[in-house]
Structure 1
């Protein structure tokens, strides 16, 4: 029952990429791709925010 819940030390990304895609329909695969693309965009935005924050901090302290 709790097999799908994250456990301490469980790497969800590893579980995601190891998931068997064979039983999924085309619609389910398209939904999965959309969700993954949205997560990539969110991750890229966070990364850019971190880069901008670091540059701002460096500029502030290097005056």
Structure 2
């Protein structure tokens, strides 16, 4: 199995690593256009994450409904 095919290990300090790096980065060197482009990119990423979260939530609800003990 190639290194890229393996599941990534998740650790608490790495879960939000990229977001933490972005939040702590100085924005002083960016132009207004670059800041606007960054906002567009980050808003698109938020939409992507929310869509994935919604799908995951629906999947979990379906699994819970399927495996929930049936009451008489």
TM norm structure 1: 0.77
- The gaps in structure 1 that reach 5 residues or longer are 1-8
The RMSD of aligned alpha carbons is 1.5
How many corresponding residue pairs?
Answer: 55
TM norm structure 2: 0.68
- The gaps in structure 2 that reach 5 residues or longer are 1-12
Which one scores higher on RCO, CA 8 angstroms, separation ≥ 6?
1
Which structure's CA Rg is the greater one? 2
Instruction: Confirm or deny that 1:54 pairs with 2:60.
Output: yes
Q: 2: distance between equivalents of 1:35 and 1:56? A: 32
Q: 2: distance between equivalents of 1:27 and 1:16? A: 17
